[in-house]
Amino acid sequence: MSDAATTSFPERYGPWALVLGASHGIGRSFARQIADKGLNVVMVARPDDGLDAAAAELRVATGVEVRALEVDLIADDMLDRLIAGTADLDVGLVACVAGGTDSVGRFLDHPAERAERLVRLNCLGPVRVCHHFGGRLRARGRGGIILISSLAGICGTDGTVAYSAAKAFDLVLAQGLWAELHPHGVDVIGLVLGNVKTPTLLASGAHFDPDDFPGMEPDEVAREGLARLGEAPMWVVGDENRSIYDALRGLPAADAINAMSAGMRAQYGWDG
């Protein structure tokens, strides 16, 4: 049974955290807020993504130890590089935040390789990382794993077929890992996100407005996600997103798919 409520954050999840996708957006916010709680942080991002600057800023701002690892998370050797870069560290918290979709469009109108990259980043990567570090956490009898899902993963969606499927995978992966690791003192949570104002989403062509597509800030997401770690196997981040989640789950499958598809097309100004 988790004792997250009776131990301090560093005692439960320290001394080191591993954050994937930490150079900007949600991952950078998680790295900063984890460091603010007293953990040292291994920041991981793909090469040439501003990682060194982000790591230097975190060191100055928080005073914790920060290690920067440039790793292409869709490469065949990604796990070998992560293992080598953390072999001397006691990693107690793993946040698989890397992921996202850089564009929308019909599944059959693009090369299969584009969908395969999404699967490698959002599915295969977390499986490999969670298998290795989950074993280390189970052996030490404490720690945590954070996986990122999305409202897009509630059902299949026109225009984000592979991404929606990958995010459904991430949520079920988190739930299964929670079932296996919770009895060993390891907290696992799948965070279901809505629109978040990240560089990746903005670059994809999505637009935001206060009424229809307000979007959350990355710092809000990280704050709420960390607060819920240890409380439940999953959490929908944001009051409005929880309302959307509940509404979609209550609809017949075809209606939910059509509603999500219409919302995606509206946000991207895409007529199909």
Structural domain containing residue 236: 9-268
pLDDT in tens, 31-73: 999 999 999 999 999 998 899 999 999 999 999 999 999 999 9
Indicate which residue of 163, 197, 245, 268 is catalytic.
163
Domain contains 1: no
3-state secondary structure of 243: helix
For 172-204, the pLDDT digits (tens) are 999 999 999 999 999 999 999 998 877 666 666
Tokens of 17: 């955290």
Within 10 A of 186 (CB to CB), how many other CB atoms are there?
28
User: What is the Cβ-side half-sphere exposure of residue 54, based on CA atoms within 13 angstroms?
Assistant: 29
Residue 131 within a domain: yes
- Amino acid 2: pLDDT: 43
Secondary structure string (H, E, C) spanning 143-210: EEEEEEEEHHHHCCCCCCHHHHHHHHHHHHHHHHHHHHHHHHCEEEEEEEECCECCHHHHHCCCCCEC
Whether 59 is covered by a domain: the verdict is: yes
Whether the CB-CB separation of 257 and 155 falls below 8 Å is answered with yes
13, 167, 197, 268: which is the annotated catalytic residue?
167
pTM: 0.93
Note the pLDDT of residue 205.
59
Concerning whether 167 is annotated as a catalytic residue, the answer is: yes
Q: pLDDT value at position 254?
A: 97
Domain containing 68 — which CATH number? Answer: 3.40.50.720
Whether 260 maps to a domain, the answer reads: yes
pLDDT tens digits for range 78-136:
999 999 999 999 999 999 999 877 667 889 999 999 999 999 999 999 999 999 999 99
Cα–Cα distance for residue pair 170/175, rounded to 1 Å: 9
Our answer to whether residue 13 is catalytic in this structure is no
98 domain-assigned: yes
Give the total number of structural domains in the chain.
1
In a domain, 4, yes or no: no
Question: Which burial class, exposed, middle or buried, applies to 115 when counting CB atoms under 10 A from its CB (0-12, 13-18, 19+)?
Answer: middle
Bigger pLDDT: 3 or 260?
260
Q: Is residue 202 part of a domain?
A: yes
Nearest to 35 by CA among 67, 66, 68: 66
Cα gap 53→68, rounded to integer Å: 10
- Answer yes or no: is 2 within a domain: no
